[in-house]
């Protein structure tokens, strides 16, 4: 299984936009690879429409999208045409045609209890080619694309500011859109931080739970 913090495996994939070498093709950019069980299925169709409708938001965050399933290229092309003709949405990002299953096997996407269909998975990969987030969904449940956008923004914010991100950020129930300062590493730092909190020089509930507004 692929794990968080590992390098995305080097793969040459065939897509609706031609052959692409991963992760090199997206060097210097974030990219999100998301697998879907099959073309011409209702849940997957709703997901592709949702991804495409937010594609500009992903690109504004220096992030590209690439889909994947074990269908062949012609199936992807016909499905993309159907989505445009019937739903008025032009899917602009590439889709990997993994008809031999080699890419899915390399990424651990073949679920033994679900036949040969790919798992409904999401990999967020940073500009250095490191896998930063992995999400798995069952075939019956469509993804929340806004949560994937939120997770991407959270990762980028954490990296840029060396902070942690609270639940439901930027609408956390305790601290709103503020971010969490990493805990003190020594007893001295903990004591000093607690004093700053008491003097209201720093926001926080305790030395291990301090936060700030960016």
Q: Point out the residues that are catalytic.
A: 44
Tens of pLDDT, residues 30-75: 999 999 999 999 999 999 999 999 999 999 999 999 999 999 999 9
CATH number given to 162-214: 3.30.1020.10
Q: Does residue 16 surpass a pLDDT of 80? A: yes
Cα separation, 48 vs 79, whole angstroms? 10
Residue 119, pLDDT score = 82
Alpha-carbon torsion 12, 70, 106, 126, what sign? positive
Tens of pLDDT, residues 158-209: 999 999 999 999 999 999 999 999 989 999 999 999 999 999 999 999 999 9
- The closest of 59, 75, 76 to 67, measured between CA atoms, is 76
* Domain layout of the chain by residue ranges: 11-143, 162-214
CATH number given to 11-143: 3.40.30.10
3-state secondary structure of 114: helix
Burial 11-29 (b: 16+ CB within 10 A, else e): bebbbbeeebebbebbeee
CB 119 within 8 A of CB 111: yes
């Amino acid at each position: 299984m692929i794990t968080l913090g590992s390098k995305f495996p080097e793969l040459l994939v065939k897509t609706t936009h031609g052959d692409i070498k991963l992760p090199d093709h997206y060097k210097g950019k974030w990219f999100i690879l998301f697998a879907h069980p099959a073309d011409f299925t209702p849940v997957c169709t709703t997901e592709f429409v949702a991804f495409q409708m937010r594609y500009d938001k992903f690109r504004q965050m220096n992030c590209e999208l690439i889909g994947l399933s074990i269908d062949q290229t012609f199936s992807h092309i016909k499905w993309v045409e159907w989505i445009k003709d019937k739903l008025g949405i032009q899917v602009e990002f590439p889709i990997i045609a993994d008809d031999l299953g080699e890419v899915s096997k390399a990424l651990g996407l073949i679920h033994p209890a679900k036949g040969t269909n790919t798992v409904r998975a999401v990999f967020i990969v940073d500009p250095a080619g490191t896998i930063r987030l992995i999400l798995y969904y069952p075939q019956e449940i469509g993804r929340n694309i806004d949560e994937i956008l939120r997770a991407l923004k959270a990762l980028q914010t954490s990296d840029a500011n060396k902070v942690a991100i609270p639940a439901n950020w930027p609408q956390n129930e305790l601290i709103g859109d503020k971010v969490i300062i990493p805990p003190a590493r020594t007893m001295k730092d903990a004591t000093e931080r607690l004093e700053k909190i008491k003097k209201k020089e720093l926001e926080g509930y305790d030395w291990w739970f301090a936060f700030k507004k960016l």
